[in-house]
């Protein structure tokens, strides 16, 4: 195996290796493109026909990859997309980037990982390196993935190498694209880690090795649990501050002037995306198997889940003070994606807000420059143009997602009442604007 190891290291050094990326979503697609940019041969394995059709039409379906960028990469010959796992048979490294949702509300679902790993194992080249990037609970790589290869006669360190490297993609973040975010890597052996470090150093400047797959798996969960708990904390404090007639946004801004020991978090209508609402629950689930229950995770998750309902209650109270009944009110929700400036509706709290408003009997519409049609969660709506005439027709405009493309001047000038859950107006025009 030492000769195989040495040969693979030489291929990596000379960028002569072949890489396969399983799953061309928000994680796998940018990774594949980065390797191709460095003139590494990459095959992307994707079972979604729509994504494959989009690539064949030379159109990107991810905001972080422009059409021009995709066209250039396809023309270079360093990247191709395929639906066949047989195409990884020549790959020296296989990166697995598939979804890891929840079953019901709190139980991890690693079925996508298992469904990807099984064909990878059947087609794996002798001496290849397999790297799992999908966020999962500690122990998955060793307890669930390794046995799949062992059942087929593979022995780690003799026939293949296995690592875990948590994805750190932040869709829409132009300051920190994939190649500028430090990469954490933990292998089943020091040699596996060494190989993975060398591979990722082709595209990423800073690579951070840790002692094991379990440590690497826990790194990702710590990062997002940290965020979940602090978002839950500030959401709860915002509700408390409202009762006490204190401006929570002013308080956070003032506290942020402390040069040490404080990191600002801001309240909002909830948390969306694939990671923060789900990842901490993976950790909590695994911890329970060791007889440990994380109260912080459960509490923060519960507070955040309550925020859409809380916002509806606030709007109902405000309208009531104006002599208007929410049941007959016309509400315009501005912004429906889970974060600003990206076309992504995954677990968006705006959807929960809309559904909650509708349950209260309100007539709800939405406006989002990135989402022309909204067919999700039982909704079937078309985006409203933010013209003066349209805005004036609503009793309340709720800013749920603060896209930069929205003309907030027109909104402010023509709206009867604005509930600003994102602090767009930063405390100004309080006679018309109420902040979370």
Topology match between the domains 2-211 and 245-435: yes
Q: Are strands 396-399 and 93-96 parallel, antiparallel or unpaired?
A: unpaired
**Residue of 381, 306, 303, 370 whose CA lies nearest to 338:** 370
Catalytic residue among 97, 163, 213, 275: 275
* Number of neighbouring beta carbons within 10 Å of residue 22: 29
Give the model's pLDDT for residue 173.
Answer: 85
Domain boundaries, the chain: 2-211, 245-435
Give the model's pLDDT for residue 401.
Answer: 97
User: Which tokens sit at 284?
Assistant: 């909590």
Give the model's pLDDT for residue 118.
Answer: 97
Give the model's pLDDT for residue 377.
Answer: 78
Give the model's pLDDT for residue 1.
Answer: 56
Once rounded to an integer, what is the mean pLDDT over residues 375-386? 91
Give the model's pLDDT for residue 198.
Answer: 95
Give the model's pLDDT for residue 28.
Answer: 96
Question: Does the pLDDT value for residue 106 go beyond 80?
Answer: yes
The class (CATH top level) of 2-211 is alpha beta
Question: Does the pLDDT value for residue 427 go beyond 80?
Answer: no
For residue range 32-85, what is the model confidence (pLDDT) as tens digits?
999 999 999 999 999 999 999 999 999 999 988 999 999 999 999 999 999 999
Judged by average pLDDT, the poorest of 3-12, 13-22, 45-54 is 3-12
Residue 275 annotated in active site = yes
Beta bridge mates, 7: none
Q: 325 falls in which pLDDT band (50, 70, 90)? A: very high
Give the model's pLDDT for residue 170.
Answer: 86
- Residues in contact with 160: Cβ distance below 8 Å, sequence separation at least 6, in sequence order: 124, 126, 127, 128, 129, 130, 149, 154
**Which listed CATH number (3.40.50.720, 3.30.390.50, 1.50.10.100, 3.65.10.10) goes with 245-435?**
3.40.50.720
Give the model's pLDDT for residue 429.
Answer: 64
User: Which tokens sit at 90?
Assistant: 């020549």
Question: Does the pLDDT value for residue 416 go beyond 60?
Answer: yes
* Number of neighbouring beta carbons within 10 Å of residue 317: 11
Q: 275 falls in which pLDDT band (50, 70, 90)? A: confident
Mean of all residue pLDDT scores within the chain:
94
Give the model's pLDDT for residue 5.
Answer: 74
User: Which tokens sit at 303?
Assistant: 């507070």
> Higher-confidence residue: 316 or 12?
316
Once rounded to an integer, what is the mean pLDDT over residues 194-207? 95
pTM: 0.92
For residue range 243-255, what is the model confidence (pLDDT) as tens digits?
999 999 999 999 9
For residue range 136-181, what is the model confidence (pLDDT) as tens digits?
999 999 999 999 999 999 999 999 999 999 999 888 888 899 999 9
């Amino acid at each position: 195996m030492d000769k195989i190891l040495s040969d693979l290291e030489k291929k990596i050094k000379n960028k002569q290796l072949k890489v396969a990326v399983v799953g061309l979503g928000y994680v796998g697609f940018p990774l594949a493109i980065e390797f191709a940019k460095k003139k590494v041969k990459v095959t992307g394995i994707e079972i979604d026909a729509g994504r494959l059709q989009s690539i064949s039409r030379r159109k990107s379906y991810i905001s972080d990859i422009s059409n021009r960028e995709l066209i250039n990469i396809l023309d270079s010959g360093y990247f191709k997309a395929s639906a066949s796992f047989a195409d990884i048979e020549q790959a020296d490294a296989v990166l697995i980037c598939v979804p890891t949702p929840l079953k019901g509300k709190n139980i991890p679902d690693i079925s996508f990982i298992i469904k990807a790993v099984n064909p990878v194992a059947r087609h794996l080249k002798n001496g290849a390196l397999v790297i799992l990037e999908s966020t999962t609970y500690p122990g998955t790589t060793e307890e669930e993935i390794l046995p799949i290869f062992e059942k087929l006669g593979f022995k780690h360190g003799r026939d293949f190498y296995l690592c875990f490297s948590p994805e750190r993609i932040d869709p829409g973040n132009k300051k920190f694209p994939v190649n500028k975010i430090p990469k954490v890597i933990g292998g089943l052996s020091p040699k596996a880690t060494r190989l993975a470090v060398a591979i990722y150093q082709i595209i990423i400047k800073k690579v951070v090795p840790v002692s094991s797959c379990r440590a690497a798996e826990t790194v990702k969960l710590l990062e997002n649990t940290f965020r979940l708990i602090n978002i839950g904390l500030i959401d709860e404090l915002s509700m408390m501050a409202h009762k006490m007639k204190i401006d929570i946004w002013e308080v956070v801004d003032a506290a942020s002037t402390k040069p040490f020991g404080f990191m600002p978090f801001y309240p909002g209508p909830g948390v969306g995306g694939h990671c923060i609402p789900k990842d901490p629950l993976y950790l909590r689930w695994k911890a329970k198997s060791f007889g440990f229950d994380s109260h912080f995770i459960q509490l923060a998750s519960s507070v955040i889940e309550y925020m859409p309902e809380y916002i509806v209650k606030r709007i109902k109270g405000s309208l009531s003070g104006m002599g208007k009944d929410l049941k007959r009110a016309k509400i315009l929700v501005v912004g429906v994606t889970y974060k600003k400036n990206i076309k992504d509706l995954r677990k968006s709290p705006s959807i929960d807000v809309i559904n909650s408003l509708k349950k209260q009997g309100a007539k709800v519409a939405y406006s989002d420059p990135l989402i022309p049609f909204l067919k999700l969660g039982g909704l079937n709506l078309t985006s409203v143009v933010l013209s003066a005439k349209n805005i004036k027709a609503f009793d309340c405009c709720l800013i749920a997602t603060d896209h930069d493309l929205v003309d907030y001047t027109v909104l402010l000038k023509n709206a009867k009442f604005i509930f600003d859950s994102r602090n767009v107006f930063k405390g100004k025009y309080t006679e018309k604007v109420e902040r979370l």
